Amino acid sequence: ICSFVCSPKGFPKLKNDTFLRAARGEETEHTPVWCMRQAGRYLPEFRETRAAQDFFATCRSPKLCCELTLQPLRRFPLDAAIIFSDILVVPQALGMEVVMVPGKGPTFTEPLKEVEDLLKLRQKVDVTAELGYVFQAITLTRHSLEGRVPLIGFSGAPWTLMSYMIEGGGSTTMAKAKSWLYRHPEASHRLLRLLADVIIDYLVGQVAAGAQALQLFESHAGHLGPEQFEDFALPYIRDIAQAVKSKLKEEALPLVPMIIFAKDAHYALRDLARAGYEVVGLDWTIRPQEARAQVGKDVTLQGNLDPCALYAPKEKIGELVKKMLEGFGTQRYIANLGHGLYPDMNPEHVGAFVEAVHAHSRHINKH
């Protein structure tokens, strides 16, 4: 137990470990709950804190990241915090410029167009030099949480990051990035390998800084078919879990639970359940019973309420949560949304979601 509770940096003792216990498959009194994008624009205090600053400047400020991470916890009895950051800090560490364009989202000033462009990327990344600000934010936040709940660190997965780097931003088809997989398979693997190596060091660094769990976001999995996923996404997802765990052991760091969230990748659930992660995150497009049948009993599931359900009246949210808990069962399960919170959501409805998970799971456990 000590590896999860004690820490060389003298962090406060953890008071609520429900999330970590559920992740490891241990019994819990209630189902733990947190929300992807829980630190976000749906909170007026978030908009106020962010107003004066450029988005990536905020990401580089440990103090602001800490404040934004803590904001939702002041409002809601969540069972975990996730560090405020962005998946695109990794391409930045490789030397690419990304700016946040209002109304458009993240935009790369010079996306990768030709195979030769790979030479412009840093081939060796010192994550402490390039991403140390994230580590500082994690350490500061871990202290500021005062042991209230565990802190989750994260990274984007290689395919998702590659797709942004080639598309230059969001895309509905990912046609440019996918064309690389068909036209330049070897160069694609070179880029994916480079990304995986940085991600491994980055995730290990987050644990060294105080992260108590890690989530890998394969947000663009749904743009790939089963074969492309198996060739260009899954090997790196597996490799990251394995390498992170062996490095944590080597460096005598805590072996923290790892979560894989591959959006829209139902076709790969069986493979993901065997990819070396304690938790498999689900989007809202699969039935709980179906997901459980595919992943088996040895993996914890996380998800999967449709985020848009939070637009419903509060009583309806409670009913949907109850149905979700009945589908998943209250054990080996972490409640979450099937994707992140949207900016126009009512914070009170987020509160209703969190409270419904606690109330209904306690009731189900008692009876």
Residues with active-site annotation: 37, 41, 50, 86, 164
Q: How many CB atoms lie within 10 A of CB 47?
A: 12
**Distances 336 to 30, 214, 271, 288, 310 between C-alpha atoms, Å:** 14, 15, 22, 12, 12
Quick one: DSSP state of residue 33? B
Query: Which residues are CB-neighbours of 186 under 8 A, at least 6 positions away?
Result: none
- 66: number of Cβ within 10 Å: 23
CA dist 318 and 308 (Å) reads: 14
Would you state the structure tokens that stand for residue 212, as one six-digit string? 């108590």
Q: Kindly report the number of other CB atoms within 10 A of residue 289's CB atom.
A: 12
Q: Tell me the C-alpha distance between 70 and 80, whole Å.
A: 10
Burial of 365 (0-12, 13-18, 19+ CB in 10 A): middle
CA-CA distance, 191 to 366, in Å (whole number)? Answer: 51
Distance CA 128, CA 254 (A): 19
Distance CA 31, CA 194 (A): 38
Which residues, listed in sequence order, are joined to residue 217 by a DSSP beta bridge? 156, 261
Peptide bond into 16 cis (omega under 30): no
Amino acid letter, residue 95: G
| C-alpha to C-alpha distance for 307 and 36, rounded to whole angstroms | 10
